[in-house]
Structure 1
Amino acid sequence: MWLGMVLAVSFLEAPLKFRAPGVTVRVGLGIGRLVFRALNGVEAVFAAVLVAVALLGAVPVPVPALAAAGVLAVQLLAVRPGLNRRSDAVLAGEEAPRSRAHLVYVVLEVLKAAALLTGGVLLLAG
């Protein structure tokens, strides 16, 4: 489920919304913030459940699945604050330069998706 949500939001909705007629950068950023806040909230719950299950040792949790939780933590704690500052500036009408943090976030999304896919395959194979 987590992988499907990441693929749908990060790799479909996020880039496509800016191609829709009449969607400005400000409108797209506003929508994106809401969507990613919701996605990240659900992801945090999934990650917390994975970590709790791993700590309790009731069910083996593949290392890649736990790595996805770690990637999410990096995204939320290290990358998102900078992205939020930039989007705040753009939404306030300021001209803000493109952010390298966005590229870092995308790379982390790819790593998280790969970790989730690998963890899922290991769960199904085990």
Structure 2
Amino acid sequence: MHEAVTRIAAAATLLWLGMVLGISFLEAPLKFRAPGVDLRVGLSVGRVVFRALNLVELGWLIVIALCLLADTGIANAPALPLAIWIAAAVVAVILLVQLEVVRPQLNRRTDEFLAGIAGIEETRSQEHRRYIVLEVLKVIALAVLAGLLLTV
């Protein structure tokens, strides 16, 4: 049972990693290069896509957390290494900062841009840069977590 639970956590981590790579680093920048997609349409689509991604990410975080907690409750199972708990905590903190701090700032800026408020440029904002940095850190943390889970 111990091995099955950690494998489920590893699979969830790898699926989450793939989704972030596919959406954040492939779909998001490419949609703005598609014919007929202007910045307003791209931002509107991006908002919907990232809202959905973030909900799925919360689901993967819950699955991983439940697996790790279940694994600690399995009789005679070896304790999970501290590094796994740290990697999982780092992933959780990054996601929560994105959802509770950076995304609301990005949403406000997008609302202002879509409303045509003067002074909102079409350039990347500090919030957008922060989100990208957090995405890169999250990818690294997810890869580390998956690697650790696959080695226990």
Q: Which runs of 4+ in 1 moved over 6 A?
A: none
The answer (yes or no) to whether the contact 1:82–1:101 under 8 Å persists in 2 is yes
Equivalent in 48, 67, 71 of residue 90 of structure 2? 67
Q: Does 1:117 align with 2:140?
A: no
User: In structure 1, how many angstroms separate the alpha carbons of the residues matched to 2:24 and 2:130?
Assistant: 13
What TM-score do the two structures reach when normalised by structure 2? 0.76
What is the distance in 2 between the residues matched to 1:83 and 1:55?
A: 33
Deviations 1:36-74, CA, capped at 9 Å, x for gaps: 000000001111232344445347481213311110000
* 1-structure distance, mates of 2:106, 2:73: 37
Q: Which has the larger radius of gyration?
A: 2
Gaps of 5+ in 1: none
> Following the alignment from structure 2 to structure 1, what is the Cα–Cα distance between the partners of residues 150 and 68?
17
How big is the alpha-carbon RMSD for the aligned residues of Structure 1 and Structure 2? 1.7
Distance in 2, Cα, partners of 1:86 & 1:106:
16
| TM-score of the two chains, using structure 1 as the length reference | 0.91
Percent of residue pairs bearing the same amino acid type: 54
Alignment partner of 1:100 is 2:126: yes
Task: Judge conservation of contact 1:83–1:101 (CA < 8 Å) in 2.
Answer: yes
Match of 2:26 in 1: 12
For residues 16-95 of structure 1, the aligned pairs below 5 Å read 16-56=30-70, 57-58=72-73, 60=80, 62=84, 63-95=86-118
Number of matched residues?
126
- Equivalent residues of 1:83, 1:102 under 8 A apart: yes
